[in-house]
Amino acid sequence: KKGFLVYFTKPLGYSGDCFVGDCPQHRYILIDNETVIIICEVTALVCEVTVSWEGTRDICAIYISEGRNVALKQSTLMSSVYIDHSQRRRYSSLPVDGLGGLASSHKERCAQTELGDNHFFWKITFRYPVLIDEIFMNFLTFSDNAFNKRFLIDFYDDHGKILLSHINQKVVLTSYRFVPMFDRHDNRVKSIKIWNPEHQMNESVFNKSFLRLCQFEAFGECAPPLYGVDCNGICSLSCMDQRCTIGGHCLRCMNGTSGNHCFEGCVVWCDEPKEDANESVHNSTECPKLFSPRVPFLHVENLWYAIFVTVALILIFFAVSGNLTDHVKMRIPKTVEDMTEGKDMSEGMDMTDGKDVTEGMDMADRRTSQYSSITASVTSDL
């Protein structure tokens, strides 16, 4: 991972705003000997990226991500479904089916409500809460799409509470991009609703009021502590309260830790910051007094493995103990029963020698008591 340099530039002749400079708060994650992830905390628009390195290297692929489309293949709902003259239904799932390129020239690939649906809406619900950085919608340009005049976007959390409401202030002809500005402590989105508020209906053509949405993309990532394509994985234990990459790596290491999963370095939280020379940590800290030597089995990354092994051993112990207890209980009472039968036989004999009979009975009683105490002792030990 050494020798890589990332620099953001502005293309010649481009008049728009672009971020220019080095990779801010850079972090390198070495996946293997052939793959490295470079993370830069850039909050402005990026137009051009230059990646350089020392020496001669074979580069197979470079991926630059603005965040993935978390809306792909998610659950959708629409107020009504339009059926065209070819009996094709314009289902609500079409804008998130992953074929957005086809919708640019074929309105049959667009979701559409019935004509005259004055209370139309389109809603998407995510399987798990997500963090959204940008929304992109494509409506195409149709003169009869009255919905393009004005619409409202509502963002809901997993309890149905509205996190943010946004209404466009100008006519949208083809596509629309929106960057939602959430409160940093209230940004976990579970669903999004696009609709036309009733007080704006007088601006639409009532007999042709409808919604046609051809493409919908929501760029972002799973909300902490989840990660993955389906948001079904749990991030590293070191960054449970922050978003991580699609592979489960922390975007930044906190409190003096380092490494791919932020397990290296300080074991206890650090108090006095001190600049670290480790290039994978920006403005990190050292803990000379709190540093703990590496013990292979006691690594934080092995915590869950140790817990699972311990639980499995306990279950095996109780299973074996239960079988042994049942075996002892089956055999010892049988022996006691045999001794009791021997006692009854002694009572049925002629009482010619009362002393011998009495001694036999006492012996049987003592042996029975002895076996009973053994049974109790074995049971309590197990």
Ramachandran quadrant class, 316 (left: phi over 0; alpha: psi -120 to 50; beta: rest):
alpha
Q: Are residues 214 and 112 in the same domain?
A: yes
Question: Percent of the chain, pLDDT > 70?
Answer: 63
The three-state secondary structure class of 6 is strand
Q: Is the pLDDT of residue 260 over 90?
A: no
pLDDT at 1: 45
Establish if 353 belongs to a structural domain.
yes
Which contiguous run of DSSP H or E holds residue 322?
A: helix 303-348
Establish if 248 belongs to a structural domain.
no
User: If pLDDT is split at 50, 70 and 90, which confidence band does 154 have?
Assistant: very high
Which contiguous run of DSSP H or E holds residue 369?
A: helix 354-381
Higher pLDDT pick, 280 / 133 = 133
**On the CB side of 251, how many CA atoms lie within 13 Å of its CA?**
18
pLDDT at 199: 46
- Token reading at 157: 């959390």
Domain endpoint, select from 14, 30, 64: 64
Phi, psi of 298 (to 5 degrees): -100, 15
State pLDDT tens for residues 324-353. 666 555 555 544 455 555 545 445 444 444
pLDDT at 2: 57
User: If pLDDT is split at 50, 70 and 90, which confidence band does 122 have?
Assistant: very high
Q: Are residues 174 and 94 in the same domain?
A: yes
pLDDT at 325: 64
State mean pLDDT over 60-79: 83
State pLDDT tens for residues 24-67. 878 787 777 777 888 887 877 788 888 888 888 888 777 776 56
* Whole-angstrom distance, CA of residue 169 vs CA of residue 200: 12
User: If pLDDT is split at 50, 70 and 90, which confidence band does 191 have?
Assistant: very high
Domain endpoint, select from 16, 45, 64: 64
Q: Are residues 376 and 333 in the same domain?
A: yes
State mean pLDDT over 268-282: 43
The domain of 310 spans: 305-381
Q: Is the pLDDT of residue 8 over 70?
A: yes
Q: How many domains does the chain have?
A: 3
Angle between helical axes of 354-381 and 303-348 (0-180°, round to 10): 170
pLDDT at 309: 77
Q: Are residues 19 and 60 in the same domain?
A: yes
The three-state secondary structure class of 168 is coil
Q: Are residues 82 and 33 in the same domain?
A: no
CB 219 within 8 A of CB 132: yes
Q: Is the pLDDT of residue 270 over 50?
A: no
pLDDT at 311: 84
